[in-house]
Structure 1
Amino acid sequence: MTDKLTVAGKTVLITGAARGIGAAVARRLYAKGANLSLVGIEPDLLTALAAELGPRAAAFPADVTDQLSLDAAVAVTLDRFGNIDVVFANAGIAPPTTTIAAITPSDFEHTLDVNLYGVWRTVKATLPHVIDSGGHMLLIASIYAFLNGALNASYAVSKAGVEQLGRALRVELATTDATAGVAYCGFIDTQMVRTAFSQDSAATLRNALPSFITKPMELDTAGAKIVRGIERRSARVTMPWWVTSGLFARGALSLLDSRLAADTRVRAAINLAAAPGGHSRGQR
């Protein structure tokens, strides 16, 4: 299936919909006439967003780390709207900004539970309905699917896994009318990114990278790119401008590892992150 997808009248389920990228995408899709199932762990924010948008939006609190919770959200979405045509698997968290040696097992594993297994659970719960409707799934990955994940190893691992899940899913859906894609996001101006950048270790590491990589993209611009990718059934949605080149140059980008390892600013960031209290977490 290569025809474009008209979202008007379609039902879109968005995880992590309460704020940031999820909410920005929800607002744009609603304006285009979509029905919206807003899923997340912040019921007050979800309810407020649904009220802001109007009668074609409904809040269904659910935790992507809990399959039964997700299944229930899918069931009530079907009761309310009758079908699920599009899924934007967006829920995610930022791990503590720290080293592999310093991160606790629970923090590392929780990052994967939300960012990778949460996407898998979302796909598992909604896939039969998207196949039935010939719809589209967009899974949110990151530039960390191909950039070095120093001080963010659990996040990078989770996003590399999401990339492979989305790529496999697109091929497996080739015998159906449904499609899937992966969104490769750089730094977007969300609360999660602002919180991360406020930490000394992250700020120090940021100074070691080219400024065009770490300059946050405007949230509304990112939302527009994602909606366009959904409508086009894109295999890849990349943002900001440089990510497409980075994606296809991932082999060459591995050369950055040795440069980062030798950079005194990176070493300073590692020392800051490993110090007591030298990390934070955030939600998309």
Structure 2
Amino acid sequence: MSAARSLEGQVVVVTGAARGVGELLARKLSARGATLALVGLEPEELKQVSERLYGESAHWYADVTDHEAMEQVAREVKARFGKVDVVVANAGVATGGPFVDSDPVAWRRVIEVNLIGSAVTGRAFLPVLMESRGYFLQIASLAAMTPAPMMSAYCASKSGVEAFAHSLRAEVGYRGVRVGVGYLSWTDTDMVRGADQDEVMRELRGRLPWPANRTYPLGPAVDRIVAGVERRSTHVYAQWWLRGMQSVRGYLPSLIGTVGAREMKRFASRLDAIPKGLVGAGGAADTQARDRRG
């Protein structure tokens, strides 16, 4: 493990910074002396987050899937603060329910925000990270390690960003840029609470084996991410047991296929009632932003 380095004076970009993991991460990094550049789709919420931070900060309204907008953000962050040391690609949305009955627009949007948005973020900021020999942290999920029924878009997107980050690490390491992947299980955010509003999704999650069947507090999870940023870690585990999942993940697809089929049969008569849109307050903000753009 790399030695921790001071975040004093480091310029950190966090996408999806209006709420949840992004918002608390920004606050904790700011408390350690970092300068924060916040990016998201909720300008008023971003402004409020920025005003609560300890040191210097600024916020930008941008859709992470918009390459031109994100390139403009990268130029403006560099112009404002003189450099970029760390980028945390955290923006994400989710939807649930059976794939065959899913809303194709919502399903595609999960892929666009989570996977394409991360790549667009990387493309926009890698030139300035190469200048600073910085760190790119890609937020993934337990969903990157194990497939799950009713989460096809989310699992596909998080598996994709994990592979993207691993590929990127090999490409930019010789340029001095370190690349990490952050893994989180179910953590107490608007996204998870939004998913739990549906009774079937909540019951299905409750039937997962321990320790994957519980919701974990946000604070300790973000503390682990902060420690990963300080060490510029290759892997960051927001819950202690996720590290152990790496050693057994090869067995999980067949296991989930068998157990998941049994559970889906159990809930078959109730599946039609599952909402098909993006979940949580962040999902609502994404939908509203796209509606405004027409």
Deviations 1:105-156 (A, max 9, x none): 2111111000000000000000011111011000011111121221010010
1:31 and 2:31 equivalent?
yes
Residue aligned with 1:213, SS: coil
In the TM superposition, what is the alpha-carbon distance from 1:192 to its structure 2 partner? 0.8
> Quick check: 1:199–1:280 contact (8 Å CA) kept in 2?
no
CA contact (8 A) 1:200 1:272 kept: no
TM-aligned CA deviation for residue 54 of structure 1: 4.3
Find the counterpart in structure 2 of residue 274 from structure 1.
272
Q: Which residue of 2 aligns with 1:87?
A: 87
Aligned-pair CA distance for 1:171: 1.5
Gaps of 5+ in 2: 284-294
Among all aligned residue pairs of Structure 1 and Structure 2, give the percentage whose two residues are the same amino acid: 35
Residue aligning to 1:151: 150
Change (3 A) 1:149 1:262: closer
- Give the 3 Å change call, closer, same or farther, for CA 85–276 of structure 1 in structure 2: closer
Distance 1:47 1:67, change over 3 A: same
Contact kept, 8 Å, 2:200 with 2:274, in 1: the verdict is no
- Using the size of structure 1 for normalisation, the TM-score is 0.93
3-state SS of 2:233 partner: coil
How far 1:277 moved relative to its partner? Answer: 4.2
Partners of 1:51 and 1:237 in 2: how far apart? 28
> What does residue 169 of structure 1 align with?
168
Deviations 1:177-230 (A, max 9, x none): 210010111011001101101212211211321142021111111111111111
Q: Is the partner of 2:87 in helix, strand or coil?
A: strand
Relative distance call for 1:73 and 1:279 in structure 2 (3 A) is: closer
- Partner amino acid for 2:264? V
* TM-score normalised over the length of structure 2: 0.90
Aligned counterparts of 1:269 and 1:199: Cα–Cα separation in 2: 13
What are the within-5 Å matches in structure 2 for residues 68-107 of structure 1?
A: 68-95=68-95, 97-107=96-106
SS in 2 for 1:36: strand
In structure 2, the partner of 1:245 is: 244
- Alignment match, 1:122: 121
1:136-215 correspondence runs (5 A): 136-215=135-214
1:254 counterpart SS class: helix
The DSSP-based 3-state class of the residue aligned with 2:13 is strand
* Counterpart residue type for residue 62 of structure 1: A
Change (3 A) 1:150 1:276: closer
Distance in 2 between residues matched to 1:9 and 1:271, nearest whole Å: 56
- Counterpart-to-counterpart distance in 1, 2:3 and 2:177: 10
Matched, 1:133 2:129: no
